[in-house]
């Protein structure tokens, strides 16, 4: 990767006046969107108790957001190219903010799911523009690398920070506060962005609606099929139909993208070996990690009897390690290269998840969970933080919106599909077994961690395909 490849047209004059404020606005939005993928985890037990979700149906509180967010990100990226990235950034943030308010006021499971879907729509509109605005605003190579490294810290650290924040708000107030907290920050972003964030030059584009419909419907069908399998078993006819339809729609989506004049997911983005590997790991990594967040929050509260606040703080060591590592990425990546960093990080993830398969109802946090969490924090920081730089550092300006959309689509899609698969594994492992609720939960989650470790092993295999000689 050469320095020249990182250069883009000169930044507008206003970006040189307040670059720190511009970056703060963009990163705050990104953090808010990522937080909502995990901030609800700690609040799941009180949500289940108040609104009457089933154990497997509870995953829809997470999946309703991640599914729509991931499913419409490609369309949101192309819409930014067509209607203006700053405009989509502001509109998306506004939709997300209003939906957060509605979710906090929800009085039934159905209303909460609808609000989470609306949050996902807003996030899909704003999300691709965060990366695209960084790529087009910070054009000097070192400044762009620093900005992308900070973006990586927000994107990766946000998952763990969401658990801590969710614990604080749930304990001090109510689970509804984890949604209300978005309102002041979202409103501030929507008001400040039009004044300070520059609007990049708009390029001619059109919306690939067939691609958007088939891609989103395909992922939704797969997720629904896996979750239904957890509830009804693999012999259920609707489960089989949903999975078959999902695979067919995904194949149709790829065919459409290969032939479209302006595809939502330009396949040329995968032509570079390192960028293709980075995209693959952005899919497998969240797929492996989401099980840890989803199941450990329930284990800590339902088995170890931690409060919501204590559960949130239980993830603090992991968040601290992850954030520290991501701060070092811009210095380490030029020296070590992506292959060594990704291999070390993914190996740590495999070890951490394998360790968690040994949990029992008698396991203690200090001896059974702390070390695996630290390994996961180190692993996520090393394995995934450099990937934003690898993907966005060389992408042409005209593909910035699409490249950012693909990146976040794979990240959210992996998290959503992974959680659906692992909930299915949980359901199959606990079907018909005896014992109390604690025994059932631990049996199911440790089996799910075995599956997560296997998925993490896939990220290690992909990491070994990076070119060892490349340096940003």
The terminus-to-terminus CA distance of the chain in angstroms comes to 5
Rounded to whole angstroms, the Cα distance separating 126 from 150 reads 18
Q: Report the CATH number at residue 27.
A: 1.20.1250.20
Q: Is residue 191 part of a domain?
A: yes
Q: Kindly report, residue by residue over 271-295, the tens digit of the pLDDT.
A: 788 888 888 888 888 888 877 777 8
> 373 and 252: one domain?
no
Asked which of 236, 261, 286 is the last residue of a domain, the reply is 261
Question: Is position 315 within any domain?
Answer: yes
> Please, which pLDDT band fits residue 155 given cuts at 50, 70 and 90?
low
139 and 174 belong to one structural domain = yes
pLDDT for 14 equals: 41
Domain containing residue 246: 209-261
Domain boundary among 217, 246, 261: 261
Structural domain includes residue 468? no
Q: Which among 261, 279, 296 is the end of a domain? A: 261
Same domain, 51 and 152: yes
Residue 68: inside a domain: yes
| 471 falls within a domain | no
If asked whether residues 257 and 270 sit together in one domain, one would say: no
Query: Does 103 map to a domain?
Result: yes
pLDDT at 3: 36
- Report residue 233: phi and psi, to 5°: 95, 165
Residue found under tokens 């991931």: 70
Whether 398 and 252 share a structural domain: no
Same domain, 102 and 159: yes
pLDDT band at 205 (very low <50, low <70, confident <90, very high): low
Q: Are residues 272 and 253 in the same domain?
A: no
Asked, for residue 469, whether it belongs to a domain, the answer is: no
472 assigned to some structural domain = no
Task: Give pLDDT tens digits for 221-263.
Answer: 877 787 677 667 777 888 899 889 989 998 998 898 888 777 7
Alpha-carbon distance values, 216 to 70, 146, 412, 414, 417 (Å): 8, 33, 12, 13, 12
Residue with the bigger pLDDT between 216 and 188: it is 188
* Same domain as 249, residue 156: no
Do residues 175 and 236 both lie within one domain? no
DSSP H or E run through 248: helix 237-259
Give yes or no: residues 230 and 367 share one domain: no
- The count of C-alpha atoms lying within 13 angstroms of the C-alpha of 122, restricted to the half-sphere facing its C-beta, is 27
State the DSSP string of 355-416.
HHTT--TT--IIIIIHHHHHHHHHHHHHHHHHHHHHHHSSS-GGGHHHHHHHHHHHHHHHHH
Residue 53 and residue 142 in one domain: yes
Number of domains in the chain: 2
* Residues 226 and 295 reside in one and the same domain: no
Q: Per-residue pLDDT averaged across 439-453, rounded?
A: 91
């Amino acid at each position: 990767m050469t320095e020249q490849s990182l250069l883009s047209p000169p930044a507008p004059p206003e970006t040189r006046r307040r670059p720190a404020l511009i970056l703060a606005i963009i990163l705050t939005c990104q953090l808010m969107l990522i937080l909502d993928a995990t901030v609800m985890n700690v609040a799941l037990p009180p949500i289940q108790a108040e609104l009457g979700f089933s154990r497997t149906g509870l995953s829809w509180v997470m999946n309703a957001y991640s599914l729509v967010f991931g499913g419409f990100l490609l369309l949101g990226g192309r819409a930014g190219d067509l209607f203006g990235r700053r405009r989509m950034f502001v509109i998306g943030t506004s939709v997300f903010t209003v939906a957060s308010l509605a979710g906090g006021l929800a009085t039934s499971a159905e209303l909460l799911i609808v609000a989470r879907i609306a949050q996902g729509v807003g996030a899909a509109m704003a999300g691709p523009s965060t990366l695209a605005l960084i790529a087009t605003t910070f054009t000097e190579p070192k400044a762009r690398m620093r900005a992308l490294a900070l973006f990586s810290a927000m994107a990766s650290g946000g998952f763990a920070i969401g658990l801590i924040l969710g614990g604080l708000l749930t304990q001090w107030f109510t689970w509804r506060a984890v949604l209300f907290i978005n309102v002041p920050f979202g409103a501030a972003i929507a008001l400040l962005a039009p004044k300070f964030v520059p609007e990049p030059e708009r390029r001619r584009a059109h919306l690939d609606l067939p691609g958007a419909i088939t891609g989103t419907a395909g992922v939704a069908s797969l997720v629904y099929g896996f979750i239904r399998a957890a509830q009804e078993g693999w012999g259920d006819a609707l489960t089989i139909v949903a999975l078959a339809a999902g695979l067919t729609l995904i194949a149709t989506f790829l065919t459409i993208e290969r032939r479209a004049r302006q595809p939502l997911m330009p396949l040329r983005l995968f032509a570079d070996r390192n960028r293709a590997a980075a995209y693959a790991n952005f899919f497998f990594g969240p797929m492996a990690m989401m099980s840890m967040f989803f199941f450990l929050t329930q284990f800590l509260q339902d088995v170890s009897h931690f409060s919501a606040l204590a559960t949130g703080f239980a993830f603090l060591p992991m968040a601290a390690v992850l954030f520290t590592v991501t701060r070092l990425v811009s210095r380490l990546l030029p020296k070590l290269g992506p292959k060594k960093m990704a291999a070390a990080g993914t190996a740590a993830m495999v070890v951490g998840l394998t360790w968690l398969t040994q949990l029992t109802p008698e396991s203690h946090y200090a001896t059974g969970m702390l070390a695996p969490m630290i390994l996961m924090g180190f692993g996520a920081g090393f394995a995934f933080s450099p990937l934003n730089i690898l993907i966005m550092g060389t992408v042409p300006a005209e593909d910035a919106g699409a490249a950012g959309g693909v990146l976040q689509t794979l990240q959210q899609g992996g998290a959503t599909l992974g959680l659906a698969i692992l909930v299915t594994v949980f359901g199959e492992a606990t079907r018909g077994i005896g014992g109390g609720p604690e025994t059932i939960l631990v049996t199911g989650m440790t089996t799910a961690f075995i599956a997560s470790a296997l998925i993490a092993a896939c990220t290690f295999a992909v990491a070994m395909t990076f070119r060892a000689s490349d340096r940003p």
